[in-house]
Amino acid sequence: MIEVEKPGGSGAGAITGRTRLYGIVADPIAHVKTPQVMHALFVEHAIDGVLVPFHVTPSGLARALDGLRAVENFGGFIATVPHKPAMLDLCDRVSDHARLCGAVNCVRREADGAMVGDMLDGIGFVEGLRASGFDPKHKRAFLAGAGGAASAIAFALAEAGVNALTIANRTQAKADDLTCRVSAAYPGIAVQGGDAALHDADLVVNGTALGMQRDDPLPLDTERLRPGQTAAEVIMDPVETAFLQAARAKGCRIHPGLPMLQSQIRLMAHHMGAL
Ligand SMILES: NC(=O)c1ccc[n+]([C@@H]2O[C@H](COP(=O)([O-])OP(=O)(O)OC[C@H]3O[C@@H](n4cnc5c(N)ncnc54)[C@H](OP(=O)(O)O)[C@@H]3O)[C@@H](O)[C@H]2O)c1
């Protein structure tokens, strides 16, 4: 819970007239975990800032951004579903990695109001995996999904030096497009579509939105998982999705979705100039 300064108070995390503002922009918004995770980081580092949720629909995104350009004590924001692809064109400048991924998830507001975007989802995912003891270098990876999070993970796994990457997605055209884009950017890596490589992969990732709802179908054929594989998730709520439960039952090592956020929270704070 955010502590509000009482008159005369100045405790860690207190909000004052000097507090710098940050945001997370999403639609819907209630499920986001970033405000509490960022608040803990701000308190840990005695940063006089607060990150608050902004519920903005796609039709209001450009107007909201223009308003935020005019807020002098606004440092930046995190963009999440469904705004990441649209932010690519709405930002004034974006990183090469964001352009490769086709999406932006973290924006810094510069002193002149310019918005500078980067994409940190994939880097956060890989750093979270490494922190848990799994280094993707020279490994074979299977990725379910070709949306915003999956695209960022695909490029970050390629950057991290996987030997092979297989991408499967409900909408085949999106999997084909992502496969082509990763192959073009990382020609030394065997990137393919389809699900034939699922059983042989060292790392199996759910990069889809499936698993948040109790009655969601599984994102991939978990019957083909085997002991020794690492099964990783992007979904944070529930902590252990049906995919992770099925993978655990098959003898896989499981890696939940929260470390992906925890690992990139510092990167986000740094990009927004807070850390
Ligand atoms: N842990 C973290 O730090 C973190 C960070 C970012 C995102 N996430 C989570 O990652 C998830 C995906 O986010 P996103 O930004 O990638 O969303 P997105 O761009 O909308 O992509 C959604 C993906 O899920 C697939 N999908 C959705 N419904 C499906 C269904 N009924 N059957 C089969 N496939 C389905 C989509 O397939 P189609 O292409 O066929 O539609 C697509 O591959 C969200 O739950 C988000 O909260 C977590």
What's the CA gap between 255 and 108, in Å, rounded?
A: 30
Say how many Å lie between the first and final Cα of the chain, rounded: 21
| 122-260 shares the fold of 20-119 | yes
**Hey, which residues does 107 pair with through a beta bridge?**
77, 117
pTM (2 d.p.) = 0.89
Distance in Å, CA 129 to ligand 1 centroid: 19
Write the residue with the smallest CA distance to atom 18 of ligand 1: 147
Decide if domain 122-260 falls under CATH 3.30.930.10.
Answer: no
Residue 5 has pLDDT above 60, yes or no: no
Indicate the pLDDT class of residue 178, thresholds 50, 70 and 90: very high
Close Cβ partners of 128 (under 8 Å, ≥ 6 residues apart): 255, 259, 260, 262, 263
Residue 274 has pLDDT above 70, yes or no: yes
20, 98, 254, 262 from 228: Cα distances, Å? 46, 33, 10, 25
Decide if domain 20-119 falls under CATH 3.40.50.10860.
Answer: yes
Instruction: Let me know: does 194 contact 132? Beta carbons within 8 Å.
Output: no
Percent above pLDDT 90 for the chain? 91
> pLDDT tens across 186-206, in order?
999 999 998 889 999 999 999
Residue 151 has pLDDT above 70, yes or no: yes
> pLDDT tens across 58-84, in order?
999 999 999 999 999 999 999 998 999
Q: Across all residues in the chain, what is the average pLDDT? A: 94
- Furthest-apart CA atoms within the chain: distance in Å: 64
Domain boundaries, the chain: 20-119, 122-260
**Rg of the chain taking only CA atoms, in angstroms:** 19
What's the CA gap between 88 and 99, in Å, rounded?
A: 7
Instruction: Let me know: does 268 contact 78? Beta carbons within 8 Å.
Output: yes
Q: Which two tokens stand for residue 185?
A: 């950017």
Q: Is 84 an active-site residue? A: yes
Q: Any idea which of 8-12, 99-103, 203-207, 212-216 has the lowest mean pLDDT?
A: 8-12
Residue 6 has pLDDT above 90, yes or no: no
Q: What is the pLDDT of residue 7?
A: 46
Which of 31, 170, 221, 236 to mutate to test ligand 1, by most ligand atoms within 8 A of the CB atom?
Answer: 170
